[in-house]
Amino acid sequence: MDLYEHQARELFEEHGIPVPRAEITDSPKEAREIARRLGGRVVVKAQVKTGGRGKAGGVKLAADPAAAELTARQILGMDIKGHTVGKVMLAQPVDIDSEFYVSYVLDRAAGRFLAIASAEGGMEIEEVAACRPETVARILVDPVEGVTSAKAAEIADAAGLPPRTVDVLVRLWQVLVREDALLVEVNPLVRTRRGDILALDGKVTLDDNARFRQARWGDGPQEHHDPLEVEAAARGLNYVKLDGEVGVIGNGAGLVMSTLDVVAGSGARPADFLDIGGGASARIMADGLSVILSDPAVKSVFVNVFGGITACDAVADGIVSAVDSIRLTKPLVVRLDGNNAARGRAILRDRAHPLVEQVTTMDGAARRAAELARTA
């Protein structure tokens, strides 16, 4: 379950991570009063579970309480990527010196968590990774050891973050562990001109399997979701709709994120994030393909699987099942490696579907999927 930004912010504050003062409302008139309490000048931010709010006009600076009321009135009710804005958060503005990116995400394939950090925050991490991959540090975290001060210092040093971020990195790990989260992200984490470290924005995804331990979240707040996300959730899939043209399927969040990077680096945009997990069956593979292929924006699909618990022959069986049960009109590029990869490749060769092709390397497969999307 994804949390809204204001809920992530509340978690950060509970765990001692500095955040600007902020309040939420669904009323333009109340927005005026909140702005007055916060000092007059505020940032008004749409509360929806999707990125790109700023580009869509969902984040604006208001100079005074009257402007805050007008801005809240403009933002409330907006549609941002299929999400209707029901609430806004008003936050005190910050005098920013530098912006950073930090996150922890579950890497199912590796059986560990992955710390991702960069001294270039404030923009899409995929864009940073594609244009300047050397600026993004990726460090595996042993879930038993966790993020100690020494581990946090290692992450900060690798990413070129200032030493004062070490304490925040430790506390973000505490958020992930104590709240049963699969993803904790801050973008941007900023250093103010006074030298303070603040979390200006946050994204937290909780593990649905741990809801019995996190009763305060209940079933989560309701909002309009993309129909494909609703369908995927009903099938038990970890799926997020994006804005591109290449569908991406992988097993493990770390592998999927890396796949998004290589697709972007090949000159295409990912159309989704779909993680079939570490023990995916042929049925799950077929369900994932069915969801992605029903997206009209998808021009090609890249299936990138490293066999571990998920054997590659099971994945291949799922692909065959999917293409035999639906009318396949979009090309699939498949890269299989690891457990039973040779058997999986043989299954696909024997089926010999004209729209399914195999490429042995991840980079090569990404380039081919991008090429097919461009020429579709």
Catalytic residues: 101, 185
Distance CA 271, CA 285 (A): 17
Please, which contacts does 344-349 make with residues 24 or more away whose CB atoms are closer than 8 Å? 344/307, 344/311, 344/312, 344/313, 344/314, 344/315, 344/316, 345/312, 345/316, 347/313, 347/316, 347/317, 347/320, 348/316, 348/319, 348/320
Are the C-beta atoms of 348 and 356 separated by less than 8 Å?
A: yes
**What are the φ/ψ torsions at residue 10 (nearest 5 degrees)?**
-60, -40
Contacts of 230 (CB under 8 A, 6+ apart): none
For residue 188, whether the previous peptide bond is cis, meaning omega lies within 30 degrees of 0, is yes
Phi-psi region of 205 (alpha: psi -120 to 50; beta: other; left: phi over 0): beta
Give the residue among 98, 169, 179, 178 at the shortest CA–CA distance from 139: 169
Name the phi and psi angles at 292, rounded to 5. -65, -40
Residue 320's SS3 state is helix
Tokens 């090609």 correspond to: 300
